[in-house]
Chains A and B, each alone.
Chain A
């Protein structure tokens, strides 16, 4: 077990290293960077004071050095102008666009993103699993067809469109604004009970909007998985033992049909972060999606790089978690080959 964990952590480290290199060089691929673009713009306007500041920043962050050196400095394995100070040391860099350290820009957004996505994941599972069980056990019944139809609508509806529609009608019918994750006047306030309440009430619509597509997809997949398992012999055995239909279903085929979803946890997390960008923009949610988008557009390299690395870490950790969960839940994996 320990050996396995160590081996996995070593591969994770290597994977992350490769991802970091890819991320950095892809961000650097377009010519220039945020500061040189800004300097060019400022020159055109003749603002020498700001130019001086920008040039100071260029030196400060070593942007005048070759790209591979910048990469190593960013990573924290090569001394920059301020000595070793990179991701490995916990220094996430400076956002030129916001003129703040990256940590201050993403700070709250990171946790809110995780919160929204966690809510979405819960929503998807809570809604999708019962519907899937219903439609799998009553295959080709009226209820199955209705669930399937709603599922297809859910799959086909662009979530940002749904967000826009809800935004408009919620305001028109109930006079409430559903934009943002809390009422505007709480922005920048410390976390109080009122603010949390406001957060929770604002969470409902984004959760539903973001989760709808995932729910529909999950219903389809879960239904298919369950249908496969329902035909298996061990389910017949369970019934032949005299187990009631619900108990037999939940203990045997349902448990089996969960495996692919556990295996998918690693993919789920990053997908939700990057997948909800449009909705976040429309609903003006203070999550990292919109920040990432603007950072990529303006070549704010440290900010974009950090967010992408964050997603990468989520993926890799998610994979590890799902592997460990699978091993815990499925004895065939836990003891496979040990025969």
Chain B
């Protein structure tokens, strides 16, 4: 058998911190064969990124490779070198780094310097490693930009990263990594920050380039769906150690280690049974939830929250030097209705307007047209016309759960202060009553009472998100707006929070508007799903019929692009290669919507509505 490109043997990386030494990678051993993709899978903090940094010797100053070897066998000259034994700033290491082993990162925005053009940054990579002049470097840069799919490579040379979309930025990163024709590409969460359709395209691109150049890929990811679709071999890490390693088939068909089995069970998949429940790796028990019940309230006759023809435009003042301003329609004629006690999922890619909708429901933004109607049992009322007492009541009834559990809790307030703040603002209860209420809330979300005196920084991401939920529940709301509540969390924790939300809904009769870009998550929690694209609701249906029979081309593309952690349902890359799914004017008839038009929603089966373009609208009329 051919020697592997990289053999990692007993790799150990230690961090020395003020709080003492910490072993991030502990005796790691695996091989990366030539021309294959090895996926390194694990939750955050499992040491997978540290491993990648160790291979390139770009560890932070606090970290050190304490033992083990990293033998790199360069297929181009047959040379073999132990990276772990090289000084980080030696010439050999400089030549390897970027030259023979290249790396792409998770966040394509911050990974590229905002002050230098794409062309400069990509050609630089070549000029470090090859003895070429500027003209040749530019030519090669254009070639590689063309290869990774830039529509106009010549123009791209002079553009800056912030002028590009996330997908193009990641393509530029890939171009930068591949211009030197490395033998090994390390991709550290290359698609985590991207939308699903873009993710599929980038994964496809990496696969194609791999087939072309015969390079090996070390793919670092937490997403088992991605692994199932692109990896040849899988290494599962937990707390710096390998839990299980093997071929993709072995890992997915025959997971042995309990950790891996648990991880598989924690990921929401399509085609889950209706009553199937995710099993978090660490289950959190809530004592009081079983006995909790909804406060006695009059139930509304119709939907508790209804959005009618909601439209919002933003005026963009363009730069300093150009005086023109543009108008962007973020939300176009959105209709939604949320029945009491149910969950409405709002799905769409970044920038589709889903957060704007939730902010308008919160009354944080005023719409240009349309209404938000809230019915607390006394009949629907226009939220944007509420004043005084009625508005205060509305604010109590509708609460928000934020995406980022780190920045949504004030680090200078204790948990007690955080949770009583809503009560203080609305002047509810005496301090004893508030204390009781807070204890009850903590129990409900499965946290210990001892948490009360602590500050948010001493909690993990999942615990913080549960604090955020407890805070949202403090005022006994009827509707919770959840804006990507689990997208910043690890899969195992994600399952915890999703289950908690489900249980709370069952116990307290809450209604959720659940905004997310993750279709599998929405599928797990929602009853009805609305798919949003470019400010339009393009399709709305009960979840079973949406997944069984997606009609709109955008919904189909979105569904096709989600990598399922099931190797029997691989992504159809060729179908996704065409692109243009999120261009209303590029949709095929009868779905095509010209700029400035709205189209109409047409009901194709009970509860299943699809937006049609103008032609159909005329036929209907």
Which A residues contact B (CB, under 8 angstroms)?
1, 3-4, 232-234, 236-245, 251-252, 255-256, 327, 329-339
- Smallest Cβ-Cβ distance to A234: which chain B residue: B113
In the complex, identify which listed stretch (B39-47, B103-111, B462-470, B604-612) lies at the interface while the others stay far away.
B103-111
Tell whether B154 is near chain A: CB-to-CB under 8 Å: no
Query: Once bound together, how far apart are the Cα atoms of A329 and B353, in whole Å?
Result: 33
Please list 14 pairs of residues, one from A and one from B, whose beta carbons are closer than 8 Å in the complex, sorted by A's number.
Answer: A4-B320, A4-B321, A233-B107, A234-B110, A236-B111, A237-B113, A242-B94, A242-B125, A244-B94, A252-B113, A256-B113, A332-B114, A337-B317, A339-B163
Q: Are B107 and A337 in contact (CB under 8 A)?
A: no
Q: Is the interface of A mostly helix, strand, loop or mixed?
A: helix
Q: Are A240 and B320 in contact (CB under 8 A)?
A: no
Task: Out of B112, B117, B129, B160, name the residue touching A237 (CB < 8 Å).
Answer: B112
From residue A239, how far is it (CB to closest CB) to chain B in Å?
A: 5
Residues of B within 8 Å of A327, CB to CB, are 320-321
Q: A233-B107, A240-B97, A242-B128 are in contact. Are A332 and B160 (CB under 8 A)?
A: yes
Residues of B within 8 Å of A251, CB to CB, are 116
Query: Once bound together, how far apart are the Cα atoms of A181 and B405, in whole Å?
Result: 61
Residues of A within 8 Å of B125, CB to CB, are 241-242
Query: Once bound together, how far apart are the Cα atoms of A338 and B162, in whole Å?
Result: 11
Query: Once bound together, how far apart are the Cα atoms of A251 and B113, in whole Å?
Result: 10
Residues of B within 8 Å of A333, CB to CB, are 320
- Smallest Cβ-Cβ distance to B91: which chain A residue: A244
Interface set, chain B 33-78, CB cutoff 8 A to A: 56, 58
Q: Are B321 and A334 in contact (CB under 8 A)?
A: yes
Q: Are B115 and A330 in contact (CB under 8 A)?
A: yes
Q: Are A339 and B97 in contact (CB under 8 A)?
A: no
From residue B165, how far is it (CB to closest CB) to chain A in Å?
A: 10
Task: Out of B97, B110, B316, B321, name the residue touching A233 (CB < 8 Å).
Answer: B110
* Interface contact tally, CB-CB below 8 A: 102
Query: Once bound together, how far apart are the Cα atoms of A244 and B124, in whole Å?
Result: 12
Tell whether B95 is near chain A: CB-to-CB under 8 Å: yes
Residues of B within 8 Å of A239, CB to CB, are 56, 58, 97
- The 7 A-B residue pairs whose C-beta atoms are closest, nearest first, are A242-B98, A241-B98, A233-B110, A337-B319, A242-B97, A338-B319, A337-B318
Query: Once bound together, how far apart are the Cα atoms of A338 and B316, in whole Å?
Result: 9
Q: Are A242 and B129 in contact (CB under 8 A)?
A: yes
Q: Are B89 and A336 in contact (CB under 8 A)?
A: no
Tell whether B99 is near chain A: CB-to-CB under 8 Å: yes
Residues of B within 8 Å of A234, CB to CB, are 110-114
Which B residues contact A (CB, under 8 angstroms)?
56, 58, 89, 94-99, 102-103, 105, 107, 110-117, 124-125, 128-129, 160, 162-163, 173, 176, 316-323
From residue B140, how far is it (CB to closest CB) to chain A in Å?
A: 15
Extra inter-chain contacts (4) besides given A242-B96, A336-B320, A339-B162, CB under 8 Å = A234-B110, A237-B111, A332-B114, A335-B160
Residues of A within 8 Å of B97, CB to CB, are 239-242
From residue B56, how far is it (CB to closest CB) to chain A in Å?
A: 6
Residues of B within 8 Å of A331, CB to CB, are 114-115, 117, 160, 162
Query: Once bound together, how far apart are the Cα atoms of A294 and B550, in whole Å?
Result: 83
Q: Are B110 and A232 in contact (CB under 8 A)?
A: yes
Query: Once bound together, how far apart are the Cα atoms of A238 and B110, in whole Å?
Result: 12
Residues of B within 8 Å of A236, CB to CB, are 58, 105, 111
Query: Once bound together, how far apart are the Cα atoms of A327 and B115, in whole Å?
Result: 11
- Smallest Cβ-Cβ distance to A4: which chain B residue: B321
Task: Out of B117, B124, B163, name the residue touching A241 (CB < 8 Å).
Answer: B124
Residues of B within 8 Å of A4, CB to CB, are 320-321
From residue B225, how far is it (CB to closest CB) to chain A in Å?
A: 24
Q: A239-B97, A241-B176 are in contact. Are A334 and B320 (CB under 8 A)?
A: yes
Specify which of A232, A256, A335 lies most central, judged by the most chain B CB atoms within 10 Å of its CB. A335
Specify which of A232, A242, A331, A332 lies most central, judged by the most chain B CB atoms within 10 Å of its CB. A242
Specify which of A4, A238, A243 lies most central, judged by the most chain B CB atoms within 10 Å of its CB. A238
Q: Are A337 and B316 in contact (CB under 8 A)?
A: yes
Q: Are A242 and B95 in contact (CB under 8 A)?
A: yes
- Smallest Cβ-Cβ distance to A246: which chain B residue: B89
Q: Are A242 and B99 in contact (CB under 8 A)?
A: yes
Residues of A within 8 Å of B318, CB to CB, are 337-339
Residues of A within 8 Å of B110, CB to CB, are 232-234
Query: Once bound together, how far apart are the Cα atoms of A4 and B322, in whole Å?
Result: 8
Task: Out of B102, B162, B323, name the residue touching A240 (CB < 8 Å).
Answer: B102
From residue A241, how far is it (CB to closest CB) to chain B in Å?
A: 4
Query: Once bound together, how far apart are the Cα atoms of A233 and B125, in whole Å?
Result: 16
Q: Are A233 and B95 in contact (CB under 8 A)?
A: no
Query: Once bound together, how far apart are the Cα atoms of A327 and B321, in whole Å?
Result: 10
From residue A62, how far is it (CB to closest CB) to chain B in Å?
A: 43
Query: Once bound together, how far apart are the Cα atoms of A233 and B160, in whole Å?
Result: 16
From residue A2, how far is it (CB to closest CB) to chain B in Å?
A: 9
Query: Once bound together, how far apart are the Cα atoms of A333 and B316, in whole Å?
Result: 15
Query: Once bound together, how far apart are the Cα atoms of A238 and B163, in whole Å?
Result: 20
Residues of A within 8 Å of B99, CB to CB, are 242
Residues of A within 8 Å of B320, CB to CB, are 4, 327, 333-334, 336-337
- Smallest Cβ-Cβ distance to A244: which chain B residue: B94
Q: Are B321 and A3 in contact (CB under 8 A)?
A: yes
Q: Are A336 and B58 in contact (CB under 8 A)?
A: no
Query: Once bound together, how far apart are the Cα atoms of A333 and B321, in whole Å?
Result: 10
Q: Are B321 and A244 in contact (CB under 8 A)?
A: no
